[in-house]
């Protein structure tokens, strides 16, 4: 997927928010409503647009090329749209593809990352570490790299460190937790996030990361995402989105 994106010049016209998704069938990635995605269903993959099943089925061998082709079509016809969900219809994107299954299915959003001690099917251990507000200090990154294990950066502002034996996993957890990485599934950090905010973004009306951290322990009953303007960068399906107004916050979406 990465190689195919890099060699297709038309994709340079995609907005920075455009998402590709590859879901192995469990639904967590599809629930994030990627602009173009594939979702494993048995021996083929369902083609998704804006997280919704289009009814098109593609062989695994054609999944990447199909997603790249649709993204290129969007880049060439999107007008002012940032996401496929903003289009009035997506029929033109699917031109030439055969709808051969029931369409319209969606998957529920997943807002919390897998954290803590995660046994793998092969008997090894993966460590799931949430990164508060998605900001990973260089020192923490250096310690993660020093483990020398495969890592996955997830869409839920977390990191998975994989294929560890129990001893290495225990030592790694003891070193990483004091650095601020979160391994507790009950931590309030798992229920709060924010866009870049001020001073990193000229559109923001507030230092939203500081405000989110300040509201860390306030009860909400769901995941809260603080944003500095109505573009709501970084928000996901299922988030309660709180937008800065200059003198406080108002609920943009719940």
Domain residue extents for the chain: 2-86, 116-186, 189-253
pLDDT of residue 219: 67
Does residue 239 have a pLDDT over 90? no
pLDDT of residue 110: 86
* pLDDT 10s digits, 30-55: 999 999 999 999 999 999 999 999 99
Helix (H, G, I), strand (E, B) or coil at 86: helix
CATH class of the domain defined by 189-253: alpha beta
Same topology between domain 2-86 and domain 189-253: yes
The residue whose two tokens read 């950090």 is: 189
CATH class of the domain defined by 2-86: alpha beta
Confidence of residue 89 (pLDDT cuts 50, 70, 90): confident
* pLDDT 10s digits, 130-175: 999 999 999 999 999 999 999 999 989 999 999 999 999 999 999 9
Give the integer Cα–Cα distance in Å for 7 and 216: 43
Confidence of residue 90 (pLDDT cuts 50, 70, 90): confident
Confidence of residue 221 (pLDDT cuts 50, 70, 90): confident
pLDDT of residue 39: 98
Fold of 116-186: Sulfite Reductase Hemoprotein; domain 2 (3.90.480)
Question: Whole-number mean pLDDT of the chain?
Answer: 94
pLDDT of residue 111: 81
Residue 224 near residue 212, CB atoms below 8 Å: yes
Does residue 14 have a pLDDT over 70? yes
């Amino acid at each position: 997927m990465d190689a195919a994106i890099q060699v297709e010049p038309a994709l340079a016209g995609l907005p920075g928010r455009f998402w590709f998704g590859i879901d192995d069938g469990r639904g967590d990635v599809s629930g994030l409503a990627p602009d173009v995605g594939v979702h494993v269903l048995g021996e083929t993959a369902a083609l998704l647009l804006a997280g919704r099943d289009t009814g098109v089925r593609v062989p695994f061998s054609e999944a990447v090329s199909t997603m790249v082709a649709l993204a290129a079509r969007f880049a060439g016809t999107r007008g002012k749209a940032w996401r496929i969900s903003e289009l009035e219809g997506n029929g033109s994107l699917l031109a030439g593809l055969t709808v051969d299954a029931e369409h319209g299915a969606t998957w529920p959003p997943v807002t919390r990352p897998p954290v803590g001690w995660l046994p793998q099917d092969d008997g090894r251990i993966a460590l799931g570490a949430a990164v508060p507000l998605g900001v990973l200090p260089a020192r923490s990154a250096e310690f993660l790299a020093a483990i020398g294990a495969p890592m996955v950066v997830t869409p839920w502002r977390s990191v998975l460190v994989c294929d560890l034996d129990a001893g290495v996993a225990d030592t790694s957890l003891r070193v990483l937790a004091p650095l601020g990485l979160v391994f507790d599934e009950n931590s309030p950090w798992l229920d709060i996030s924010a866009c870049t905010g001020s001073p990193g973004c000229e559109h923001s009306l507030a230092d939203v990361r500081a405000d989110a951290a300040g509201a860390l322990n306030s009860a909400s009953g769901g995941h809260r995402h603080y944003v500095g303007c109505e573009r709501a960068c970084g928000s996901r399906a299922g988030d309660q989105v709180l937008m800065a107004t200059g003198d406080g916050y108002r609920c943009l979406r719940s």
